[in-house]
Structure 1
Amino acid sequence: MKDNQARIILFSLFFTLIFCASAQDREMLRFDENGEFKIAQFTDTHINMDKNSNFKSYEIIRGVLEKEHPDFVILTGDIVTQSNPTKGYEHFAGMFSKLEIPWAVVFGNHDSQGELSRSDLAELLKTQAFCLNNDVGGIAGNSNFILPVYGRNNTPEALLYCMDSHSRSTLQPLVEGYGWFDFSQIMWYREKSLEYTRQNGGSPLPALAFFHIPLPEYTDAWNNKTTPPVGVKNEDECSPDINTGMFSAMLECGDVMGTFVGHDHINDYIGVHYNIALAYGRVTKVMKGEDDPLAGGRIIVLKEGQRKFDTWIRDMNGVKELPCSWPETFFSKKKFN
Structure 2
Amino acid sequence: MIKNPIRNALLLAFFVSSFCALGQNKNALKFDSSGEFKIAQFTDTHINMDKNSNLDVYEIVRGVLKKEQPDFVILTGDIVTQANPVKGYDLFAELFSEFEIPWAVVFGNHDSQHDFSRESLAGYLKELPFCLNDDVGGIAGNSNFILPVYGQSSQVSALLYCFDSHSRSTLQPVVDGYGWFDYSQIMWYRDKSAEYSRVNNGKPVPALAFFHIPLPEYTAAWNNKSVAPVGVKNEDECSPDINTGMFAAMLECGDVMGTFVGHDHINDYIGVHYNIALAYGRVSKVMKGADDPLAGGRIIVLKEGRREFDTWIRNMKGTTELQCNWPETFFPKEQ
Distance 2:21 2:263 in 1: 37
Question: Aligned with 2:110: secondary structure?
Answer: coil
Equivalent position of 1:134 in the other structure = 134
Distance 1:250 1:24 in 2: 33
**In the alignment, is residue 194 of structure 1 matched against residue 194 of structure 2?**
yes
Query: How much has 1:310 moved relative to structure 2?
Result: 0.1
Query: How much has 1:155 moved relative to structure 2?
Result: 1.1
**In the alignment, is residue 300 of structure 1 matched against residue 300 of structure 2?**
yes
Aligned AA (2:107) = F
Count of residues in correspondence between the two structures: 316
Structure 1 spans left out of the alignment, 5+ residues: 1-19
Distance 1:71 1:197 in 2: 25
Question: Aligned with 1:333: secondary structure?
Answer: coil
Distance 1:256 1:94 in 2: 32
Distance 1:272 1:58 in 2: 32
Aligned AA (1:114) = H
TM-score in terms of structure 1 length:
0.92
Q: How does 1:111-260 map to 2 (within 5 A)?
A: 111-260=111-260
CA distance 1:58–1:219, change in 2 (3 Å): same
Equivalent position of 2:82 in the other structure = 82
Q: How does 1:53-132 map to 2 (within 5 A)?
A: 53-132=53-132
Q: In 1, are the aligned partners of 2:26 and 2:129 still within 8 Å (CA)?
A: no
Aligned AA (1:42) = F
Question: Aligned with 1:160: secondary structure?
Answer: strand
Q: Which has the higher mean CA deviation after the structures are superposed, 22-31 or 88-97?
A: 22-31
Backbone CA RMSD of aligned residues: 1.4
TM-score in terms of structure 2 length:
0.93
Q: In 1, are the aligned partners of 2:281 and 2:297 still within 8 Å (CA)?
A: yes
Query: How much has 1:274 moved relative to structure 2?
Result: 0.2
Distance 2:22 2:124 in 1: 22
Question: Aligned with 1:73: secondary structure?
Answer: strand
Equivalent position of 1:272 in the other structure = 272
Equivalent position of 1:33 in the other structure = 33
Question: Aligned with 1:58: secondary structure?
Answer: helix
Query: How much has 1:334 moved relative to structure 2?
Result: 4.2
CA deviations on 1:299-320 (whole Å, 9 max, x unpaired) are 0000000000000000000000
CA distance 1:21–1:139, change in 2 (3 Å): closer
Q: In 1, are the aligned partners of 2:22 and 2:132 still within 8 Å (CA)?
A: no
Query: How much has 1:219 moved relative to structure 2?
Result: 0.1
Query: How much has 1:49 moved relative to structure 2?
Result: 1.2
Equivalent position of 2:4 in the other structure = none
Q: Which has the larger radius of gyration?
A: 1
Distance 1:23 1:144 in 2: 18
Question: Aligned with 2:141: secondary structure?
Answer: coil
CA distance 1:86–1:21, change in 2 (3 Å): closer
Misfit runs of 4+, over 6 Å: none
Query: How much has 1:27 moved relative to structure 2?
Result: 2.4
CA deviations on 1:291-337 (whole Å, 9 max, x unpaired) are 000000000000000000000000000000000000000002249xx
Equivalent position of 1:7 in the other structure = none
Distance 1:54 1:87 in 2: 14
Equivalent position of 2:332 in the other structure = 332
CA deviations on 1:274-298 (whole Å, 9 max, x unpaired) are 0000000000000000000000000
Q: How does 1:11-30 map to 2 (within 5 A)?
A: 26-30=26-30
Query: How much has 1:24 moved relative to structure 2?
Result: 6.2
Structure 2 spans left out of the alignment, 5+ residues: 1-19
Percent identity, please: 78
Query: How much has 1:21 moved relative to structure 2?
Result: 9.3
Aligned AA (2:81) = T
Distance 2:21 2:169 in 1: 43
